[in-house]
Amino acid sequence: MTNSIREIPDSAGFFVIGSNTTENHPVIGSMIKNEVINKGKKLIVVDPREIELSRYADYYFQINPGTNIAILNGLMHVIVKEDLYDKAYVEERCEGFEELAKTLEKYTPEHVADICGLKKPQDIIDAARFIAGLKPMSLYYAMGITQFVSGVNGVKSTANLQMLLGNLGVAGGGVNPLRGQNNVQGACDMGGLPNVYPAYQPVTSEDNKAKFESAWDAKNLSTKPGLTLMEMFNGAIEGKIKALYVMGENPVLSDPNQHHVLEALRSLELFVVQDIFLTETAREAHVVFPSFGFLEKSGTVSNTERRVQLMNKVIDPPGQSKDDWWIIMQLANRLGAKWDYSCSEDIFNEMRKVTPSYAGMTYQRVKNELIQWPCPTPEHPGTQFLHKGKFSRGKGLMTAIDYTPPAEGTDKEYPVALTTGRVLEQFHTGTMSRNSRILEELSPEPFIEMSGHDSRSYDIVDGELISVSTRRGSLRIKVRVTDTAKPGVVFIPFHFKEAAANVLTIDALDPVAKIPEYKACACRIEKILPLDEKGGGR
């Protein structure tokens, strides 16, 4: 998030796109609801599903999956055409406006309504005028923006809109991605990415190589960017990746195209998994290391607003399990390293020396103060919101972006759009939530969400078991008929191994971020007929 959770009361309005906030980030969802319902703040919601927040929205756009860029361009088209944008801000702080404006020309409300599957183009005009009057307006998004082959462009489009309206670099504004895992921010900050060292310092830079060789007392650090997760799986199938070490992840359930992932894992010479349960992924491993769960360890995590907080040890770990960092250190030392960390704080203190955005933090400070990175020195109070006064890169770059459709459109053979996501009571692949009694009782089984309109077309009733197929695979799953779904679009949560949504999803990737297109692919719905009605099969 460019801005902070505690700025929610500072916003005059909220633009929520591709985020089912009340189910996936419920505490922030409640804070937004409080502003809108109890204090009369304004709300615009864009989502293919009629999510809870849409009920309180001043404008709600139920777009087709994968058409975020079109609706954003459509709103900006009106804002530019009617001269509603923040001219002084754009002129002084941004660049690239002319090109953006030129690209926006063709995104007329009628054209956009057609792409997005909206009935009333006039709503786009009205909403554009409405949001131009909301100062400051904060924009929230989640995986409903990013998990497309056009994910990076979707993110850039949200930034375009907020720059155009002068809502970046101000309290209560911002582009605010809601991160879906408790330390996904930190894992990125720490360099758990193939192209960057901690604090996003590129591995291709010779300066960075020299810096880290000296800090780590290492030789010949590679300047070649590594492979992303999906590329590693492809590499395994091609025989280029021979060993894979997975800590605390369950790609068999979480990654697209499950058959492909299993094939990759089974091609490895050495597959090591470090986890708290024998997950679907761990079952495929040659060696499994038992590690501590979150309440058994101490250490820091960084939340969606860049705030670093301390985890404390609450309970004793079971059996022979060990702390993740301890296991890594044992392996490193067997491969010739001479690491000697005695606790997580030792590691933090080394980390902050090579991580400029964390350099001013200590365990003591993190415990007693609210600190958000960047925090470059021990005296620095941390940063509540980014791009204050001027953008980190100098001028805010507006990017002219055209709408591109999802990799796999619907057709005669696969006529229904499938989108995936989470439900309130479950989380990700269920390793934690499905092993929690109350959560599992609240949401015990997989389902496919379908509109009343579609259920009638297919002659399917609520609770009926049906077959869903894509070009990757098929599964049987119970139907939940609901008004949440848009006709022609179905939704399956991906938590459930007994009907794993990722058997169906496509492994098409965004070319830059390599993020898979979980939010849109084409599927076919079929009624399952009892044997005697099939007339001898087909």
Residues from 296 through 335 that contact another protein (CB under 8 A): 296-297, 299-305, 307-316, 318-325, 327-332, 334-335
By CB under 8 A, is residue 148 in contact with another protein?
no
Q: Nearest distance from residue 477's CB to another protein, in Å?
A: 21
Contact call for residue 235 and another protein (CB under 8 A) = yes
Site membership for another protein, residue 351 (CB under 8 A): yes
Return the range that interacts with another protein (CB under 8 A); candidates 80-88, 94-102, 433-441, 459-467. 433-441
Stretch that binds another protein, among 58-66, 91-99, 156-164, 225-233 (CB under 8 A): 225-233
With CB under 8 A as the contact rule, the residue among 212, 385, 414, 496 that binds another protein is 212
Output the smallest distance, CB 9 to another protein, in A: 9
Gap between the Cα atoms of 25 and 142, Å rounded: 10
441 binding another protein? (CB under 8 A): yes
Among 133, 226, 409, 452, the residue binding another protein under the rule CB under 8 A is 226
The pairing of beta strand 137-141 with beta strand 175-177: parallel
- Residue 494 near residue 253 (C-beta atoms within 8 A): yes
Asked whether position 220 contacts another protein by CB under 8 A, the answer is: yes
Report helix, strand or coil for 74. helix
H/E stretch holding 109? helix 109-116
3-class SS string, 462-500: CCCEEEEECCCCEEEEEEEECCCCCCCEEEEECCCHHHC
Asked if 356 interacts with another protein (CB under 8 A), we say no
321 vs 399 by CB, closer to another protein: 321
Least distance in angstroms from the C-beta of 295 to another protein: 5
In this structure, what is the dihedral angle of CA atoms 88, 94, 97, 103, given to the nearest 10 degrees? -130
Q: Is residue 241 within the footprint of another protein (CB under 8 A)? A: yes
Interaction residues for another protein, span 368-427 (CB under 8 A): 424-425, 427
Task: Supply the minimum distance, in Å, between the C-beta of residue 13 and another protein.
Answer: 17
Min CB(416)–another protein separation in Å: 23
Query: Binding another protein by CB under 8 A: which of 243, 465, 512, 528?
Result: 243
**Residue 35-54 contact track with another protein, rule CB under 8 A, x = bound:** --xx----------------
Distance of CA 495 to the CA centre of its chain: 15
Query: Are the beta carbons of 138 and 349 closer than 8 angstroms?
Result: no
Query: What is the nearest approach in angstroms of another protein to the Cβ of residue 212?
Result: 7
**Which residues from 257-296 bind another protein, rule CB under 8 A?**
269-270, 272, 275-278, 282, 285-291, 293-296
**C-alpha dihedral, 189 to 191 to 197 to 200, nearest 10°:** -40
> Does 516 interact with another protein (rule: CB under 8 A)?
yes
Q: For residues 420 and 103, give the distance between their C-alpha atoms in angstroms, rounded to a whole number.
A: 31
> Residues 12, 171, 262, 432: which binds another protein (CB under 8 A)?
432
Instruction: Give least dist CB 136 to another protein, A.
Output: 17
Q: Does 182 sit near another protein (CB under 8 A)?
A: yes
Q: Are 508 and 516 in contact (CB under 8 A)?
A: yes
Identify the DSSP state of 6.
G
Contacts of another protein in 60-119 (CB under 8 A): none
Binding of another protein by 237 (CB under 8 A):
no
Paired with 474 in beta bridges are: 469
Angle value at C-alpha 436, between 284 and 316, nearest 5 degrees: 85
- Give the other-Cβ count within 10 Å of 84's Cβ: 18
Q: Which range in 25-33, 133-141, 161-169, 526-534 contacts another protein by CB under 8 A? A: 25-33
Of 63-71, 92-100, 182-190, 471-479, the window that binds another protein (rule: CB under 8 A) is 182-190
Structure tokens at 113: 């309504």
Q: Which is nearer to another protein, 283 or 534 (CB)?
A: 283
Whether residue 169 contacts residue 163, with contact meaning beta carbons closer than 8 Å, is answered with no
Among 95, 96, 123, 188, binds another protein (CB under 8 A): 188
Q: Check: CB of residue 275 under 8 Å from CB of residue 288.
A: yes
CA distances from 129 to 80, 156, 174, 222 (A): 10, 21, 19, 51
Q: In one letter, which amino acid is 106? A: K
Count of residues in contact with another protein, rule CB under 8 A: 143
CA–CA gap between residue 122 and residue 501 (Å, rounded): 36
Provide the pairing of β-strand 448-450 with 474-481. Answer: parallel
Rounded to a whole number of angstroms, the minimum distance from the CB of residue 445 to another protein is 15
Positions 118 through 147 that interact with another protein (CB under 8 A): 146-147
Cβ-in-10-Å burial (0-12, 13-18, 19+) of 378 comes to exposed
Contact between 222 and another protein by CB under 8 A: the answer reads: yes
